[in-house]
Structure 1
Amino acid sequence: MIHSSELTNNSDAVYAQTNRNCDRTRRGKHKIFIGMAPGVGKTFRMLEEGHRLKLEGIDVVVGLLETHGRKETAEKGEALEIVPRKQMLRGEKMLAEMDVEAVILRRPQLALIDELAHTNIPGSQREKRYQDVEEVLNAGIDVFSTLNIQHIESLNDLVARITGVVVRERIPDRILEEADEVVVIDVTPETLETRLREGKIYAPEKIEQSLKNFFQRRHLIALRELALREVADNVEEDAATLKGQYCNIHERVLVCVSTYPNSLQLLRRGGRIANYMNAPFYALFVNDPDKFLTKSESLHVETCEKLCQEFNGQFLRVNGNKIAKAISDVAKEYRITQIVIGESQQSRWKLLLRGSLTQQLVRSLKHVDLHIIATEKSH
Structure 2
Amino acid sequence: MYNPKSDSSLPSDGLYGNPGGKRGKHKIFIGMAPGVGKTYKMLEEAHQLKAEGVDVVIGILETHGRRDTAERAKGLEIIPRLRVSHEGTVLEEMDTDGILGRSPQLVLIDELAHTNVPGLPHDKRYQDVEQILDAGIDVYSTVNIQHLESLNDIIARITGVVVRERIPDRLLDEADAVVLIDVTPETLEARLRDGKIYEQEKIQQSLANFFQRRNLIALRELALREVADTVEEEANNGELNGQSCNIHERVLVCVSTYPNSVQLLRRGARIANYMNAPLYVVFVADPDRFLTREESLHIETCENLCREFEGTFLRIDKQNVPQAIAQVADEYHITQIVIGESQQPAWKRLIKGSFTQKLMKRIHQQHIDLHIIATEK
TM-score by length of 2: 0.94
Aligned CA distance change for structure 1 residues 336 and 20 (closer, same or farther; 3 Å) = closer
Distance in 2 of aligned mates of 1:317 and 1:20: 47
Q: Give the corresponding residue for 2:22.
A: 26
The Cα of 1:121 is off from its aligned counterpart by 1.8
Matched position secondary structure for 1:9: helix
The Cα of 1:238 is off from its aligned counterpart by 2.1
Counterpart among 177, 180, 187 of residue 176 in structure 2:
180
The Cα of 1:10 is off from its aligned counterpart by 5.0
Q: Give the corresponding residue for 1:100.
A: 96
Contact in 2 for aligned 1:32/1:146 (Cα 8 Å): yes
Q: Give the corresponding residue for 1:42.
A: 38
Q: Give the corresponding residue for 2:368.
A: 368
2:295 is the counterpart of 1:297: yes
Q: Give the corresponding residue for 1:269.
A: 267
The Cα of 1:300 is off from its aligned counterpart by 2.1
The Cα of 1:291 is off from its aligned counterpart by 2.8
Counterpart among 219, 235, 238 of residue 223 in structure 1:
219
The Cα of 1:292 is off from its aligned counterpart by 3.0
Matched position secondary structure for 1:17: helix
Matched position secondary structure for 1:218: helix
Contact in 1 for aligned 2:58/2:107 (Cα 8 Å): yes
2:307 is the counterpart of 1:309: yes
Distance in 1 of aligned mates of 2:281 and 2:131: 47
Contact in 1 for aligned 2:17/2:136 (Cα 8 Å): no
1:375 aligned partner, one-letter code: T
2:97 is the counterpart of 1:78: no
Q: Give the corresponding residue for 1:259.
A: 257
The Cα of 1:155 is off from its aligned counterpart by 1.2
Distance in 1 of aligned mates of 2:253 and 2:304: 14
Distance in 1 of aligned mates of 2:170 and 2:306: 34
The Cα of 1:109 is off from its aligned counterpart by 0.7
Q: Give the corresponding residue for 1:54.
A: 50
The Cα of 1:11 is off from its aligned counterpart by 4.0
Contact in 2 for aligned 1:133/1:143 (Cα 8 Å): yes
Distance in 2 of aligned mates of 1:154 and 1:20: 30
2:286 is the counterpart of 1:326: no
Contact in 2 for aligned 1:236/1:247 (Cα 8 Å): yes
The Cα of 1:297 is off from its aligned counterpart by 2.2
The Cα of 1:168 is off from its aligned counterpart by 0.7
Distance in 2 of aligned mates of 1:318 and 1:18: 44
Output one character per residue of 1:276-307: Cα deviation in whole Å (capped at 9) or x when no partner: 11111111111112333233222222222222
Distance in 1 of aligned mates of 2:168 and 2:371: 41
2:119 is the counterpart of 1:150: no
Q: Give the corresponding residue for 1:130.
A: 126
Moved more, 168-177 or 64-73: 168-177
Contact in 2 for aligned 1:8/1:183 (Cα 8 Å): no
Contact in 1 for aligned 2:15/2:25 (Cα 8 Å): no
Q: Give the corresponding residue for 2:207.
A: 211
Aligned CA distance change for structure 1 residues 129 and 19 (closer, same or farther; 3 Å) = closer
Contact in 2 for aligned 1:15/1:58 (Cα 8 Å): no
Aligned CA distance change for structure 1 residues 279 and 234 (closer, same or farther; 3 Å) = same
2:225 is the counterpart of 1:241: no
The Cα of 1:87 is off from its aligned counterpart by 2.0
Aligned CA distance change for structure 1 residues 15 and 95 (closer, same or farther; 3 Å) = farther
Number of equivalenced pairs? 373
Contact in 2 for aligned 1:280/1:313 (Cα 8 Å): yes
Moved more, 115-124 or 236-245: 236-245
1:306 aligned partner, one-letter code: N
Matched position secondary structure for 1:335: coil
Output one character per residue of 1:246-282: Cα deviation in whole Å (capped at 9) or x when no partner: 1211111111111222212211110101111111111
Matched position secondary structure for 1:88: strand
Distance in 2 of aligned mates of 1:206 and 1:20: 39
The Cα of 1:352 is off from its aligned counterpart by 2.2
The Cα of 1:92 is off from its aligned counterpart by 4.5
Q: Which runs of 5+ in 2 are unaligned?
A: none
Contact in 2 for aligned 1:20/1:58 (Cα 8 Å): yes
Contact in 2 for aligned 1:28/1:142 (Cα 8 Å): yes
